[in-house]
Structure 1
Amino acid sequence: MEDTSVKIDRETADRLRALAGGQPLKHYLADLAKRVEHERALDTATASFRRVIGEPSVLERFDADFGGLPGPAAHETPRAA
């Protein structure tokens, strides 16, 4: 893949280098872009999931088909928040 350059101010460049923790900045930025894309995909999936489970008929059908959501596993103990 061909490299390109991006102009940013010195303060931002210094902050990015510090966040990169010694790895080459181009690798850090590539990893950062992948993480942000992944977070956005998860946000989209979460929003879709919440929209679907917000419909009472969906939860009623789930309960009818699968017997409802499972309770805590036998090895789990409730903890205070």
Structure 2
Amino acid sequence: MRLDKFLKVARVIKRRTLAKEVCDRGQVEVNGRVAKAGAEIKTGDIININFGNRKFKLQVIDIKEDVPAKLAAELYQVIEDKTT
């Protein structure tokens, strides 16, 4: 699954277009490397996101195309969440 789509489906970022913009600005890393919106995500990947004044570090637990809002948080595990 594409990185921008995963961020939207998992409801880490509300809109896919915003997720794409954040990726294109170089604010998202996958496994320690800056990633574009089209980067393929797989289970076990570590995603670092610098979004606004927050820094997230997530591990991908599962990948699904469509998930109800209640279950979206089950797609990833938060490793670190900092507000600067």
TM-score band by shorter chain is: under 0.3
Structure with bigger helix share is: 1
Structure of greater relative contact order (alpha carbons < 8 Å, 6+ residues apart): 2
Structure with bigger strand share is: 2
